[in-house]
Chain A
Amino acid sequence: MPADGSTERKTPSTSNAPPLSNALKRNDGTPLQVDWFESAQVNTSAAERRAATLSTRRTVKKEYQAAWLIKAVTLMDLTTLAGDDTPARVHRLCMKARRPFREDLVEALGLQANPPKVGAVCVYPTMVAPAVKALEGSGIPVASVATGFPAGLTPLKQRLEEIHYAVGEGAHEIDIVITRAHVLNADWQALYDEVAAMREACGEAHLKAILATGDLKTLRNVYKASMVAMQAGADFIKTSTGKEDVNATLPVSLVMCRAIRDYEALTGFKIGFKPAGGLKTAKDAMSWLILMKEELGNAWLEPDLFRIGASSLLADIERQIEHFVTGRYSSTIRHALA
């Protein structure tokens, strides 16, 4: 419950909700366990070395590469988070989410029986309703950022209210932002309470905790914040809002994946991961897929445990897919705008 207990609750609308999770047991969270992370060590150069060689140790070619890129699209939270978003703009994005690839390409890949669609569409709270409408019947969930995104410095009451609003509008997933100050001041209790309250406010909707790692600066902070968010019940941990100076990087993602692995070993719960901001090319997508497969395993190559927050990435993947199909290098004008 929110601290003041006064929030007016709307019943979350789940009429249009696709199954969010297959056989996974949802994270119950744990009491705050500072001893799970207070002595955690992360050596920055070692993490950077591992991150730098992940994609040099693995190469995926030809039909495998095509399949992996299609997979990346199915894991994508196709996103628009701009001040000039309008319902019509969101509608356009949702149409692309439903049909990210040209039909001839889908046929050439032999996927017409089950054409690929994106993992989710991610928008601001006031854009949830148009998105839900545009995606009706598609099975594509709508994710909403909330809690004073991107800085998260509005009063807690308003932030929780924003979650209720977004859920009430039909969002299936809520991408919350944490108060960075709690991490920078090592006030783990405050961070835990905040995320736990948000999780409660989400109800059935899944909570993705944005750590804004670019603001946390050190990889140890990233690890600790990841652990607290998971203990507080986050369903996903997410790197960035896309608005920090530095967004998703491989070393940060590596550390978050290791935190997920440790949390699973301690609790049995599998937590999802979402890098966001900075993944712009097909090559980036491949690097993150390799990271997930190597560090966490194939279970984290499915949308219930891995999402890629991106907007421009899709266009690059489309061109790569067309190149695979035709053997010719493609142009963006041949693919529908998102």
Chain B
Amino acid sequence: MALVKDILVSMDYGPAPEVNEPVVGWLDQHKDGFNHFIDGKFVAPSEGKRFPVFNPAYETELAQVAQGNAADVDKAVKAARKAFKSWSALTGHDRAVYLYAIARHIQKRERFLSVLETMDNGKPIRETRDIDIPLVARHFYHHAGWAELIESEFPGEGPVGVCGQIIPWNFPLLMLAWKIAPALAAGNTVVLKPAEYTPLTALAFAEICREVGLPAGVVNIVTGDGVTGNAIVEHPDVDKIAFTGSTEVGRIIREKTAGSGKKLSLELGGKSPFIIFEDADLDGAVEGVVDAIWFNQGQVCCAGSRLLVQEGVAEAVYAKLRTRMANLRVGDPLDKSIDMGAIVDPVQLKRIKELVAKGEAEGATLFQVNKGLPAKGCFFPPSLFTNVAPASTIAEVEIFGPVLVGMTFRTPDEAVAIANNSRFGLAASVWSENVNVTLDIAAKLKAGVVWINSTNMFDAASGFGGYRESGFGREGGREGMAEYLKPVTDKPLKADEKVAAKLSPLPVADDEISGLPSIDRTAKLYVGGKQARPDSGYSYTVLGPKGQPISQAGLGNRKDIRNAVEAAGKAGSWGGATAHNRAQVLYYVAENLSSRAKEFEARIVAMTGVSAKAAAEEVAVSIRRTFWYAAQADKFDGAVHATKSRHVTLAMNEAFGNMGILCPDEAPLLGFVSLVMPAIAMGNRVIVVPSSSHPLAATDFYQILDTSDVPAGVVNIVTGERDALAKTLAEHDDVAALWYFGSKAGSALVEKASAGNLKPVWANQGIPRRWTEASAQGREFLRRATQVKNIWVPYGE
């Protein structure tokens, strides 16, 4: 024991170990190996295989955990399917009672779970105790609330079904909560696979499920590695996949689920900017950096890993950072005075070391504080790179470790340009005492979460999720619930399984030559506000209902799509126009459509052979629908989430930018209008491929656009083969979102092709819609035309 008189001189903190006997005892109870949790029971792995789980701080084995295979996953999915029937039939209140009980039990076990998480993951007990586990309880409480309110807050929507959920190792139990709480609240059942490095708190959670009497099969937990995860992704009876993890694996999952009809949400990697302006509270910002990149050893998807500092204060900020880094304590994560614990696994440590070596090799200047680093265990010191440029590898790739890369900027514009110069778009942090600057930058950043004068703030009431290749879908808040709900349809139509016929550029032989033709009307493409001939120089013959040729349309190809996307990209001011202005333009479109209603009715009859009455209805609904989206343009508001006190957490609905839209064959005018109007009402620019078989209502429509003050490039129309053009759009990295209404095969094609930049795809899986009905209009279309940006604005003087 150290002597008081000596401590009075050294004034050291001394050891402050968290007691871990209860957890050691629990692990000892399971020394024969953990099992899967399936159908309310702990079930041995079918092949009897287990793998070891380590404490990365001590490099000791903690437990042997079941290795799940396809048979185990199948058993779990069957249990979830069986449970779904009764679980989804419960009232929201009854489900709320279960979720409330889970929240309560997590609080009752908070220290046990904190210690277990720290031992399994290596993160400091300070974080598991003060951040992870309290947020877990908060998430279940919050979603007990959504369960209670489900009928009144989400009328017409129901659960998706069986959800397969695959979670990462950086916040093991918190990610479980983010997945399971909303799924259960909405009435889904789940099969969850925790990360192979950190499965233990999920197994402790399984015990809580039993303790609260959660019905068997509602929550199933299958442990294992990528093989197990793959079995979940590929299981035909899983209705939704929710994945949090690397962009690389997210891309594989996108490809594998393509065409399966599985709903998908991905929360992937990031390289989030942390921007410090010269008028920021620099000391406050330095503490922000600590919470941004040295929180959880930097193994945080939304870590502020790219430091952007205004040139005039860069040296001052770097100096303050170096001083602050010297005070960070790295060591035994169970010690209560530790700032940074262990890296989760030697594999991850190796990756961090390699990237840091690469940074040095590329000429960046490395600063590290190595004092007090334990000799044994997976530790890496807090690291700061300066002299970094956007072209450096370490500025581009996600390191997922305690490594900050520092760059400078001169002006706010340049800060935005560097910040957005990334394929990721998860989060950002902006520091300035000038409210104009902070809100301007927040609006311009491509990121799902923006923290002003703060960082890494989380709350169950706020949505979390990324733009761009950081994934799609949100977790938390109202927007997060949407991922686990779907519209309840009474009698869905049968899927269109047929493969679309190839369009021929050759003339159609027609027996009957009928006298003098009317003056030829040439349906062209419409790109950048101008009619354009197809790049190919070919047209295809549009046939009438009896197979007779009625006109020709341009046979658009990939270059036409390229041109259309470029034209759309130049129409960026549309998104910046006031919603009122956009509404005015849409009203004007409706007005002009109304004045030419007869012409469109005749065209619909000629193309499709429907009755005059049906054609009149299609046009009338098109006009009404355009009005409806005009009306919504300035009313599809965001929200202010109730998160922490003295915080405004703004959920803003933002347009994607360039959207690709593939129109259905049914209702050639109304299908076009029903998809284009919500998209442009929200501020998107669209590249539209009209129905291949009945394109003429859309090509007629560009005259309406021309006369209605629709700015050039906002709507671009490319006719041709839907699926060929769809593939080009799905692959295009400058198209941010895609709606596909066509065949089942086409749905699979676009979903797969979208994996390149991981754009969100809304594909109908070949199931036609009744476009004249109310279900073909509504907030779902607006929600799909926007992405939510959550901006956290703490205030106080």
Contacts and interface: CB of A to CB of B under 8 A. Distances in A.
A complexed with B: yes
B261 to A, nearest CB: 45
Given A66-B4, A293-B11, A298-B11, A59 B339 contact: no
Given A57-B337, A59-B336, A48 B796 contact: yes
Nearest to A46: B284
A291 B337 CA distance: 13
A194 to B, nearest CB: 26
A64 B796 CA distance: 36
Contacts of A111: 4-5
B613 interface: no
Nearest to B16: A59
Q: DSSP class of B's interface residues: helix, strand, loop or mixed? A: loop
B16 A56 contact: no
B281 A42 contact: yes
A71 interface: yes
A91 interface: no
A298 B326 CA distance: 14
Interface in A40-58: 41-50, 53, 56-58
Nearest to A45: B794
Contacts of A39: 279
Contacts of A64: 2, 7, 12-14
Contacts of B126: 56-57
Interface string B260-285: 00000000000000000001111111
Contact of A68 (B1, B11, B285): B11
A57 B2 CA distance: 22
A67 B8 CA distance: 6
A11 to B, nearest CB: 37
Contacts of B8: 67, 70-71
Contacts of A71: 8, 11
Given A57-B337, A64-B7, A41 B16 contact: no
Contacts of B14: 60-64
Interface residues of B, number: 37
Contacts of A59: 13, 16, 336-337
Contacts of A135: none
B290 to A, nearest CB: 9
Contacts of B796: 44-45, 48
Interface in A9-46: 39, 41-46
B61 interface: no
B700 to A, nearest CB: 56
A22 B753 CA distance: 73
A61 B287 CA distance: 25
Interface string B641-662: 0000010000000000000000
Interface string B329-346: 000000011010000000
Q: DSSP class of A's interface residues: helix, strand, loop or mixed? A: helix
A60 B16 CA distance: 6
Contacts of A66: 4
A47 B797 CA distance: 10
Contacts of A70: 4, 8
A263 B433 CA distance: 22
B361 interface: no
Interface string B1-26: 11111011001111110000000000
A48 B795 CA distance: 11
Residue in B130, B280, B283, B646 with the greatest tally of chain A CB atoms within 10 Å: B283
B250 interface: no
A246 to B, nearest CB: 14
B646 A45 contact: yes
B13 A110 contact: no
B337 A110 contact: no
Contact of A46 (B15, B288, B797): B288
A34 to B, nearest CB: 17
B188 interface: no
Nearest to B323: A261
A301 interface: yes
B345 to A, nearest CB: 25
Nearest to B795: A45
B502 to A, nearest CB: 62
Contacts of B280: 41, 43
Given A59-B336, A60-B14, A68-B11, A46 B2 contact: no
A111 B5 CA distance: 6
B719 interface: no
B96 to A, nearest CB: 32
B797 to A, nearest CB: 6
Contacts of B336: 58-59, 61
Contacts of B797: 44, 218
Nearest to A42: B281
A269 B569 CA distance: 58
A308 B283 CA distance: 24
B707 interface: no
A258 interface: yes
Contacts of A63: 1-4, 7, 14
Contacts of A6: none
A109 B16 contact: no
Contacts of A56: 126, 130
Interface in B1-55: 1-5, 7-8, 11-16
Interface string A83-109: 000000000000000000000000001
Nearest to B646: A45
Given A46-B454, A49-B287, A58 B13 contact: yes
B754 interface: no
Contacts of A43: 280-281, 284, 431, 433, 453
B283 A258 contact: yes
B327 interface: yes
A244 interface: no
Given A46-B453, A64-B2, A41 B281 contact: yes
A45 B280 CA distance: 13
Contact of B284 (A42, A53, A62, A301): A42
A194 B339 CA distance: 43
Interface in B213-256: none
B327 A46 contact: no
A136 interface: no
A114 B279 CA distance: 50
Contacts of B7: 63-64, 67-68
A50 B282 CA distance: 13
Contact of A50 (B16, B279, B284): B284
Residue in B1, B13, B280 with the greatest tally of chain A CB atoms within 10 Å: B13
A204 interface: no
A203 B130 CA distance: 49
A68 B287 CA distance: 25
A41 B287 contact: no
A50 B5 contact: no
Nearest to B336: A59
Interface string B282-309: 1111011000000000000000000000
Interface in A203-225: 218
A309 B174 CA distance: 43
A53 B339 CA distance: 11
A109 B281 CA distance: 44
Contact of A45 (B4, B130, B337, B454): B454
Contacts of A61: 14-16, 336
Given A43-B431, A43-B433, A109-B5, 5 more contacts: A45-B796, A46-B285, A46-B287, A56-B130, A58-B337
Interface of A: 39, 41-50, 53, 56-64, 66-68, 70-71, 109-111, 113-114, 218, 258, 293-294, 298, 301
22 contacts: A42-B284, A43-B281, A43-B433, A43-B453, A45-B454, A46-B285, A49-B454, A56-B126, A59-B337, A61-B15, A62-B14, A63-B14, A67-B4, A67-B11, A71-B8, A109-B5, A110-B4, A110-B5, A113-B5, A114-B5, A218-B797, A258-B283
* A-B complex: 10 closest residue pairs judged by Cβ atoms: A46-B284, A64-B14, A67-B7, A59-B336, A45-B794, A43-B281, A59-B16, A41-B281, A44-B796, A43-B284
